[in-house]
Structure 1
Amino acid sequence: MDPKKRYEKERLDGKQQRLLIILEAAERVLTLKGIEKTTMQDIANDANIGVATLFRYFPKKEKLIVALATKLLEPLLERFQYVAELPISCLEKLEKLFDFFIEDHNNLSVKFMVDFESYASHSSEPLEDILTFNSLNRKISREYSRIIQNGIEDGSIRSGISVKDTLTTVINTFGLFSKKLSLQKNILLLESDLETDYQLAILKKILLDYLKA
């Protein structure tokens, strides 16, 4: 490789590696302290870089927050794409998506994503770079639309209901409930020995039994 090209490649690789370090540090700090209480200095300290270096990558805290939210949303898109492509029935695809939410609800990043959604919804102006995040959400919706269409065509979903409206409500309900349990696992609302995983498994069975043809 030409020395100049090799140098440029190494420089770009180094920038990408540092960007990853910054995003990983941001995830740790923002999850622990919350968006409002976290400073750029906090993140720089965790990443073991100078705050001036951090500002070269992200001139505003808001840009870093959106970049992290976008990064954390990417695995969800990949999972929906994977499930949509599987040669199985719509009902079986829904079960796999439910299993993903159950597996993921104890992930600490869920706390940040809930905080981010609240932060974005209370912002008086659209967040900078939010279009990239919204674009990912639209891609997830398109993949789920493919699964819904599968349910309309394959006969695995019972008749007498609006498949599109029902499946949209079902996935939203399960996703929101899994987030709620993730946030409240250390808060006792009712006298109960039920583990959060078990509660999600019960809801999964209720929904699948309702949908099954």
Structure 2
Amino acid sequence: MTGITESAEKVFGIKGFEKATMQDIADEEGIGIATLFRYFPKKDKLIVAVAVNAIGRYFHAFQTIAQLDVSSLEKIDRLFDYFASQLNPENLGYTRLIEAFESYAALQFAPLDDMATYNDAHKEISDVFSSIIEEGKSDGSIRGDIPTGDVLLSIINAFSLFSRKLSLFENIPYLEAEVTPSKQLAIVKSIFIDYLKVR
């Protein structure tokens, strides 16, 4: 099944979710269309499986950072760097895929089949992030005079969404003519980290 989702990710990355057909994916994987439908009876199920696979990369990165032997504030700094790295050419494909998936899912009249699986994958990421927040309360590296959980979740969501949006601007040169995406992220990161630091 991994081969199918990898082939589907490649096809969706080239053609988009709307234009890619199940036949395109079967051809890419080198299997018959009936075999593909045996694993994924609807295209939406395959779309969600691809998105879950892509977001799993975020979970792995969060887990790795959470296990580092550094302060919570340093871990958050590393998370910002990780999101900024999504602008690197080797990461742009799946960064754009997740952005496209969430737009696609949001525009559907009813929830996509298996969307709960994607939500569960998001929750796993949130749980790892929550552990970093709890650690920050204990190690004193984050301000204690703010509603830590709410503020940090808002900041990390804002930063990750912003970095993903910037990944789309590469094909729209006038949007980055003044300040490069990487410089914009560095500025926003500096503002957020300064806000979180214990004074």
> Normalising by the residue count of structure 1, what TM-score does the alignment of the two structures yield?
0.84
**Which residue number corresponds to residue 59 of structure 1?**
41
Same amino acid, percent of matched pairs: 49
Which residue is 1:179 aligned to? 164
Q: Residue 27 in 1 paired to residue 9 in 2?
A: yes
1:140 to 105, 121, 125: 125
User: 1:103 is aligned with what amino acid?
Assistant: S
In the other structure, the counterpart of 2:111 is: 126
Corresponding residue for 1:211? 196
Select between 124-133 and 27-36 the one with higher mean Cα deviation.
124-133
- Measured in 1, the distance between the counterparts of 2:11 and 2:174 equals 27
Q: 1:198 corresponds to which residue? A: 183
* 1:102 shift after superposition: 1.4
Is 1:114–2:96 an aligned residue pair? Answer: no
Q: Residue 97 in 1 paired to residue 79 in 2? A: yes
Distance in 1 (alpha carbons) for counterparts of 2:145 and 2:174: 36
Amino acid aligned to 2:68: L
Q: With structure 2 as the length reference, what TM-score do the two structures score?
A: 0.89
Match of 2:54 among 67, 72, 78: 72
Q: Deviations for 1:25-76, whole angstroms, at most 9, x for unmatched residues?
A: 1111111211111111111222222222211221111111111111111121
Provide the aligned C-alpha RMSD in A.
1.7
Q: Which has the higher helix share?
A: 2
What is the DSSP-based 3-state SS (H/G/I as helix, E as strand, rest coil) of the residue aligned with 1:104?
helix
Which one has a bigger Cα radius of gyration? Answer: 1
**How many residues are paired up?**
195
1:126 CA displacement: 2.2
Deviation (angstroms), 1:159: 4.3
Note if contact 2:12-2:20 (Cα within 8 Å) is conserved in structure 1. yes
Q: Which amino acid aligns with 1:28?
A: K
Q: 1:165: which partner in 2? A: 150
CA, structure 1 residues 170+191, in 2 after alignment: closer, same or farther (shift >3 Å)? closer
Amino acid at match of 1:59: P
- Residue identity opposite 2:11 in structure 1: V
